[in-house]
Amino acid sequence: MARRPNVLFSMCDDQRHDWMGCAGHPFLSTPAMDRLAREGVHFVNAFTAVPLCAPSRASHHTGLYPHANGVFHNQADLFPAVSTWPELLQRAGYRTGFIGKMHYGGRSAPRPGFDRWVSFRGQGSYSDPMLNVDGAEIPHLGYNTDILADYAERFITEQSERPWALCLWYKAPHGPFTPPPRYGERYAAVTLTQPPAFGASTEGKTESLRRRRPMGHESDWSPDKPFVSGKTWDLFCRDYGRTLQAVDDALGRALAAIDRLGLADDTLVVHTSDHGYFHGEFGLADKRWMYDPSIRVPLLLRYPALVANPGRREDGLVLSLDVPATLADLTGIGVPATYQGRSLRPVLVGREGWTRDEVFCEYFEDPPFPQLPTMVCLRTRDRKLIHYLRPGETDEFYDLAADPEERRNVIDAAHYAAHVAALRVRLDAAMRRFAYRQP
């Protein structure tokens, strides 16, 4: 029997899809991420199932939307009957590890399914963090991302005949976007470019966005006033890149450990993010809203034993729920019938015919932030419908081919009426197919 692949699942918090060298970023240096793109497949149109931290992480562990796994918002936990793919892999003989930010459930204690556990409560701290190591709370000195990389290297190099699976899920680059001291001045001289929709009008957006204080940053901000986490937009962008630079270092260290052991051909490596992040589009920071800067994510997969024509950029629609389905498929445990994503194996091997016509995303009101309503979204290659489930809100429809920055809500435009009606039918069908419900 062929050896089952090892798994390294690297995941950021708040990394935009376009903040990687391989995605064409003008100044950010990401040699490790670029290596994965060069030696694997770069999915350039990947989307999260839910643009919020804890729910997305739970979905990545369960293969289920939040409405099906119970983690509706950042304060929720899994339904008791829901299991995770690490639990399935552990039962199948894998040595399993979790290192980093779990978030859902609000506790730092070990979760079922892991032989090694290194985590922290909630958001944790960038500097000198308190980490729960296999059930013991232990203070650490140093920078969070670097410490997680230390533990990851030790896990990867531990001698064992069993295949292993490791989730290396960083706190970074989540606010307050604190870089390590070694990168404190990096990118200080680069010229920053504002996103095309930077500070764009919210005319036509739903009432909650137009009339309430925007979520995630101080009000009345401008490039020379606090944007988010007390930082001006200029400093935020530079520190965001510096914090991501440390993530790339950590990923590079893990890849180097795999190389030293001669395991590269037998290891499936995934790098992604739980969701994207606004950089001032429509005056927004944070995520949560259904516009592309929030729901698009980076997604890189490398598995030399399987991937055909490495270095490909695949532009078909991919959903974050496809990642756990792919892991279950390639590790031999089989994709559970309950999973709501699809294995990417056909794309990895270069087989034609694998297509996804749409992605369905959801967001539930997070109790500390009632400014944002519960919403769902259906996105195709060139259309997007956002439906708000709170009374008094205004639905939104975008022609992405003509308006890729989502500036003009044409939900009521007569010449789009047929397109809107068709997408409403598809949205309703998706909600029925996934047995959507509100908590």
pLDDT surpassing 50 at residue 1: no
Residue 145: inside a domain: yes
For the domain that residue 87 is a member of, what is the CATH number?
A: 3.40.720.10
Q: Looking at residues 411-431, what average pLDDT do you find?
A: 98
pLDDT surpassing 90 at residue 107: no
pLDDT in tens, 350-391: 988 889 999 999 999 998 888 899 999 999 999 999 999 999
- pLDDT-based confidence at residue 326 (cuts at 50, 70, 90): very high
Strand partners, 387: 376
- d(CA 409, CA 384) in angstroms, rounded, equals 10
Q: Domain total for the chain?
A: 1
pLDDT surpassing 70 at residue 215: no
Residue 125: inside a domain: yes
pLDDT surpassing 50 at residue 213: yes
Q: Looking at residues 330-336, what average pLDDT do you find?
A: 97
**What is the average pLDDT value for the chain, to the nearest integer?**
95
Residue 311: inside a domain: yes
Q: Which domain holds residue 146?
A: 6-356
- pLDDT-based confidence at residue 2 (cuts at 50, 70, 90): low
pLDDT at site 220: 75
Residue 55: inside a domain: yes
Residue 16: inside a domain: yes
Residue 435: inside a domain: no
Q: What percentage of the chain has pLDDT greater than the value 70? A: 98
Residue 34: inside a domain: yes
pLDDT in tens, 39-48: 999 999 999 9
| 156 φ/ψ angles, rounded to the nearest 5 degrees | -65, -40
Residue 75: inside a domain: yes
pLDDT at site 157: 96
pLDDT at site 159: 84
Strand partners, 131: 138
- pLDDT-based confidence at residue 59 (cuts at 50, 70, 90): very high
Lookup: tokens for 30: 């990401």
